[in-house]
Amino acid sequence: MRRVVLFSLVIVPIWAQAPRFYAPETLKSSGANIDVGYYGAPFIYDWDGDGKKDLVTGQFTSGKVRFYRNVGLNNNPIFMGYEYLKADGKDITVYSG
């Protein structure tokens, strides 16, 4: 048992590597940075069923949910403006607190 513990303490850290992160990229829509204020929680999903991954994100200050349609490609998305998601013709609103 001691050998297993010793092996784990010595050998396993040698194989472990620090995670590598890519540089952050600011998402743009119609050439301008996407800014929903603060506490945005972006979600990438093919929302409209066209095979392209769209962007859906909340807007903290008003509680509305923005939908950015991808008019580009999945590996090079292009977002042109946004619309608020609706239910029964009314903007979906998610309140905090």
Q: Please state the pTM of the whole predicted model.
A: 0.71
Does residue 10 lie within any of the structural domains? yes
Does residue 96 lie within any of the structural domains? no
User: How would you class 66 by CB atoms within 10 Å of its CB: exposed for 0-12, middle for 13-18, buried for 19 or more?
Assistant: buried
Does residue 97 lie within any of the structural domains? no
Does residue 84 lie within any of the structural domains? yes
Rounded to the nearest angstrom, the gap between the alpha carbon of residue 59 and the centroid of all alpha carbons in its chain is: 13
Three-state DSSP state, 83: strand
The residue written with tokens 């040698």 in the block is 14
Q: Which of 70, 55, 75, 66 is nearest to 93 (CA)?
A: 66
Domain hosting 78: range is 2-91
Encode pLDDT of 7-65 as tens digits: 566 555 556 678 889 998 888 898 898 888 778 888 999 999 999 999 999 888 888 99
Encode pLDDT of 64-85 as tens digits: 999 999 999 999 999 989 999 9
Q: Which pairing describes strands 43-45 and 54-59: parallel, antiparallel, or unpaired?
A: antiparallel
Does residue 37 lie within any of the structural domains? yes
State the total domains in the chain: 1
Does residue 29 lie within any of the structural domains? yes
Radius of gyration of the chain (CA): 21
